Amino acid sequence: RPGTRMDPGPGSNNKKHKKGGNATTNSKTKVEATGTVEKVKGDVMEKISTSATSGKLKYPMAIITGFFTPEVDIRPLVGRKVWIPSTQEEGKIAGPFGKAGKCKVTFDGGISEASVGSKAELHTVSET
C-alpha cells in the first residue's frame, strides 16, 4: 500500500520523511518513518513495583510493524535508532522479523508492556 510505509523506489534513497521534530530528541535526528509496537518479546528483564499494582515488566525486545514494506531489505538498516515517544524508550533495529516488513528492535534498558500498541519512530542521523 503506497504511502503507508517506506516504499522501495528505483533507488534505495526514496524514504518517507516526517516534517517537524521531537523536542525530546537530538536536533541532528529526523523521523524517517513511523510504525506501531506490535508485541514485546524475551525474558523479563526487571519488574518495577508501582504501589499496590502488579508492577511494570520490562522486556529486551519488541516487534515493530509499519516501518517498511515487505519488499524492503531490512538487514542494511540494522543498528538504526528507534524511539517510543509515549514511554520515552530508545532501541535499535536488530533485524527483520518474518516476511511482512516487520522488524525486531532491541532495547538496552528494556521496553515496558505499556508500549504495546504505541507509536514508534524510526530516526536517521543527518550528515550536517
pLDDT of residue 46: 72
- Rounded Cα distance between 3 and 91, Å, is 25
Residue 74 has pLDDT above 60, yes or no: yes
Q: What is the pTM of this model?
A: 0.71
Q: Which of 93, 84, 92 is nearest to 112 (CA)?
A: 84
Handedness of CA 75, 79, 83, 89 (dihedral sign): positive
- Rounded Cα distance between 116 and 93, Å, is 17
In degrees and rounded to multiples of 5, residue 114 shows phi and psi of: -65, -20
Residue 81 has pLDDT above 70, yes or no: yes
Burial of 14 (0-12, 13-18, 19+ CB in 10 A): exposed
Q: What is the DSSP letter of 18?
A: -
pLDDT of residue 57: 86
pLDDT of residue 5: 62
Q: What number of CA atoms fall less than 13 Å from residue 5's CA on the CB side? A: 19
| pLDDT (tens digit per residue) in 6-65 | 655 555 554 444 444 444 444 567 889 999 999 999 998 877 655 544 557 899 999 999
How many angstroms separate the first and last alpha carbons of the chain? 32
Residue 2 has pLDDT above 80, yes or no: no
| pLDDT (tens digit per residue) in 84-120 | 999 999 999 999 999 899 999 999 999 998 899 999 9
Place of cell 528505483: 10
pLDDT of residue 24: 44
